[in-house]
Structure 1
């Protein structure tokens, strides 16, 4: 995404060994492979193909180029393993529902063998917002208490965790006549720091209304339809790894965290229904990896039911007044 960081160079020395001592016969290294970092994909490389000798600036600083003796080109493409699990996940929350729809059970993989202490089949439990700030292994009590308050069933055994190193929360904050806002929060639960991270969100109906992002740099991509690309601002684009709490013996671990508000205008998206799902992304990418999304949106049923009851009450009020 950053052209200035799209190239790298390294040097290796190759020696001939008997019986291949002919200096005029050159054979490049084969079996190239590029292995991604913590969240980046794997690449499958083809065989070297001889090309015209490449040129490099003269190492002495003279205004001339030095040609290589021979050059080869190796093309590497991202491999797409349909069976591979995600490496990041997304949770949804909103101002019109108190519960958070968390990442899916085993979104980033679980043991192939049935777990004794948790279920790989049960859907993840709804959570209170504060549960997003603690590791999964410390959420059990909070999830059970929340389920009791909301009169939700609790399976036995409980659902397994998502097992994702990076999680992203998308929160719809406001919805008014001319526009609406959301908040995106990145959590790093892994041991690896992410410098120069980037996030891309695909929004099927809302992207044309993108207005501004406040704590991140962001823009709507012209080359990719309905996609908003975002990065941390210069000097702040560093998502640190998980760290111990202030009291490691008692406090749970603390994730690395980055957060920003994003605003939209409705003028370019007439008819958009933010609370019915249009305010949530259909795809989210972190450092090029597609994240796992919840299967449902936060419910606005209570709000709709309240509006319906209120409307019926207002309709019946004149009738009641006439009979008095």
Structure 2
């Protein structure tokens, strides 16, 4: 009896561990978000094959920003890379056994990076050469793809003799992604370059990579502060919202160290150089309930960068709030509802306008962007009581930000009416009284 009980207990523990290990990479706002790496063998060679490798970012709001992606894997046999188009291996490895025609890379675990824009035309293929920057699917589907071509030798020359690579690792540009094993899938069907004839890959396999914020850091990478027109209280981010491990290395905003050359140069290990704050977050989002009209209400959102070493390219901000189903106008940001997987339209993505504010500068006088949102009231749900006007969740660049505790939200004063009258309207009434008295 005791043995059966112990077995049942261990079975339950094992099941819980499996559930929680999968939940680490599960994002309820983007449950099917992933990066899929597809290998299409397009031709056989005397000792191997030529393949087009395509990386599709199916994440709705998490993109790969500068300095771009890095992809590595392990060969199943003794393969070599004879040549590449649209990307390059970071190391050649030991190719001393080859005489005359030397491979591009002989390493057992090659690491590949995208080429920079502007390389010669004969080194390019479609969707390559963007310095590894890949947009999110929700923001720009046409730019959510990156490709390169690889010629592989010593690998076998048929579907039966080719062995799939293993142990894929994707960095984009830091850690966070976990890649599954390569799996053979139905061969890709595509058009020839003249778009007049369909053809088919000789062999195709996929690798799926998912993101987990916990793999990057045990702390959030951003925080949210709150305020409202109906309360003088400004609720700041919590102390050490993003951890205070970097507190000893932070720099005050008026420090002379900021005048040194190279202070804004990113490091290869992506270690931030933060402005000294009580929250010690690289990014702070401020949500301000600005005005309450008769049929509309207005919110102001400000994003501030406290990292002196990093500009955020093609940044994204995702907010969850029940009244986002009635967004009327968004000023100075682009906006897109995120509804493909949601039963209700309560989530939206904000991002910068191209060539205007899609680059969030490093910490300093220009390290912020802001917008205002006009929302039409839903008379059945709208209220300013109990913190209803504040967001339920905020994400920046795909990472969830820490919100203050709900019991600390700015509250509506007891003397306030259900529909508050704006100060401008009161001022107009006073002026009219003086005119007609």
TM-score range, shorter chain: 0.5 to 0.7
**Equivalent of 1:198, from 286, 292, 316?**
316
Corresponding residue for residue 180 of structure 2: 46
Structure 1 residue 277: deviation in Å? 0.9
Verify: 1:290 aligned to 2:408, yes or no.
no
Residues 199 and 286, structure 1, Cα contact 8 Å, conserved in 2: yes
Answering whether residue 204 of structure 2 is matched by residue 71 of structure 1, we say yes
Cα distance, 1:55–1:93 mapped onto 2, change above 3 Å: same
Which of the numbers 94, 100, 109 marks the counterpart of 2:228?
94
Give the unaligned 5+ runs of structure 1: 118-134, 140-158, 244-252, 308-324
Alpha-carbon deviations, 1:57-78, whole Å to 9, x = none? 445x473355444321112222
Q: Does 1:238 align with 2:355?
A: no
Cα deviation code 1:20-76 (max 9, x no counterpart)? x754421232111222336xx7221111112333345445x4733554443211122
Deviations 1:184-208 (A, max 9, x none): 011122233223222221114x334
Distance 1:258 1:10 in 2: 35
Q: Give 2:147's aligned residue.
A: 9
**1:181 to partner: Cα distance:** 0.7
CA apart distance, 1:261: 0.8
> Between Structure 1 and Structure 2, how many residues are aligned?
250
Contact 2:237 2:279 (C-alpha < 8 Å) held by counterparts: yes
1:164 matched to 2:301? The reply is no
**Any conservation in 2 of the 1:193–1:238 contact (CA below 8 Å)?**
no
Name which of 274, 279, 282 aligns with 2:384. Answer: 274
Q: Does 1:212 align with 2:212?
A: no
3-state DSSP of counterpart to 1:81: helix
Structure of greater relative contact order (alpha carbons < 8 Å, 6+ residues apart): 1
Structure-2 residue corresponding to 1:110: 244
Question: What is aligned with 2:414?
Answer: 304
SS, match of residue 32 in structure 1: strand
Counterpart contact for 1:202–1:228, Cα < 8 Å: yes
Cα 1:188–1:13 change in 2 (3 A) is farther
> Equivalent residue of 2:150, what SS?
coil
Aligned equivalents of 1:220, 1:22: Cα separation in 2: 48
d(CA) in 1 for partners of 2:388, 2:156? 67
Query: Is the alpha carbon distance of 1:10 and 1:109 closer, same or farther for their aligned partners in structure 2, counting shifts above 3 Å?
Result: farther
Relative to structure 1, the CA distance from residue 176 to residue 13 in structure 2 (aligned partners, 3 Å threshold; closer, same or farther) is same
- Inter-partner Cα distance in structure 1 for 2:400 and 2:376: 26
State whether structure 2 residue 182 is matched by structure 1 residue 85: no
Q: Retained in 1: the 8 A contact 2:234–2:410?
A: no
1:37 aligns with 2:173: yes
Of stretches 66-75 and 178-187 in structure 1, the one that deviates more from structure 2 is 66-75
Q: Following TM superposition, by how much is the alpha carbon of 1:270 offset from its aligned partner in structure 2, in angstroms?
A: 2.8
Seen in structure 2, the aligned counterparts of structure 1 residues 4 and 58 have a Cα distance that, compared at 3 Å, is: same
The change in CA–CA distance for 1:88 and 1:36 in structure 2 (over 3 A counts) is farther
Task: Write the distance in 1 (CA, Å) between the matches of 2:304 and 2:277.
Answer: 19
Q: Would you say the 8 A contact 2:226–2:409 is kept in 1? A: yes
C-alpha displacement of 1:93 = 1.5
C-alpha displacement at 1:9, in angstroms?
0.9
Q: 1:104 to 1:51 in 2, by over 3 A?
A: same
Q: 2:370 aligned with 1:259, yes or no?
A: yes
Confirm or deny: 8 A CA contact 2:393 2:403 kept in the other structure: yes
1:212 to partner: Cα distance: 1.5
Shift of 1:171: 0.7
Q: Is the 8 A contact 2:315 2:360 kept in 1?
A: no
Q: CA deviation at 1:80?
A: 5.5
